[in-house]
Amino acid sequence: MQTAATGQSASTAQTEQPSEPVSTTLPAAPARDTEALAAAFAEIPVANDAGVSFDPAKLASMVPAFTVGTEPLVLIMHTHGSESYAGSADDGETGRSQDIAKNVVRVGQVLCETLEEAGIPALHDETMYDVPSYTASYNRAFDGITAALEAHPSIRIVIDVHRDAYSYPDGSILATSGQYGGERTARLMFLVGTDAGTLAHPEWRSHLAFAMALQTRLEALAPGIARPVNLRRQRFNEHLTPGSLLLEVGASGDTLEEAERAVRVFGRALAQELGAEIA
């Protein structure tokens, strides 16, 4: 596993600094059965909190393709790295821990290991960009991502790993886990940024197409593990590469072990999408 040294939940409005979109050239998509893919995309539930328009049939021909080489292709990082899970939080009131063995940084380590076992070169930035201050964490993450891209121009995919959180009126907290393969496993959710806010993100539909392609593979591997794709007004630094996505791995009511199981499924789905032969 390679580690990059670069220095509340994702639903909180981001304070990312405006910037010009980075120029990227999307690689040509591989030969796909776009008709079958369009049918699959049409069945994927989407929480369209951004109020934007998209056509699943068109998205099926917009899924980006990536070439796997020997240099890092995937960067795994954590804008809100202190987010932790049930029983592992140092601060039970906020559900956070600065111990990377207890928070989403550990989940990122598992994802990196899963990808590398499948032959996908990955880089893991273990920086907690929400420490010591949650404010402007997306600004600091922007700097970290751009530094990683300058050091490793081969990176085309950035996975920002978070965990979700929600408190119900009765004081209980959200737990997403279900049974997959005989074990309790957290569920997964993609947050896809758009240009519906004030920041430029002209290629967001190709990112949505990428998320839907991965969602289709997740459902084939573990039916029901994927929560509805969430489209948001913010862009979450996703404009920096053609394959950037924000991934919510479980919620604060799930355990770290359940989150680790879930991210291994995601790692397999991503490796399959990148051409690895995984059953």
pLDDT at residue 254, rounded to an integer: 95
Q: Provide the pLDDT confidence category of residue 22 given band limits of 50, 70 and 90.
A: very low
pTM of the complete model beyond 0.85: yes
Q: One-letter amino acid identity for 110?
A: V
C-alpha closest to that of 227 among 243, 246, 240? 246
pLDDT at residue 4, rounded to an integer: 54
Q: Is the pLDDT of residue 157 over 90?
A: yes
Instruction: State both tokens at 145.
Output: 């991502």
pLDDT at residue 129, rounded to an integer: 98
Report how far residue 263's alpha carbon sits from residue 107's, in angstroms, rounded to the nearest whole number: 7
pLDDT at residue 271, rounded to an integer: 96
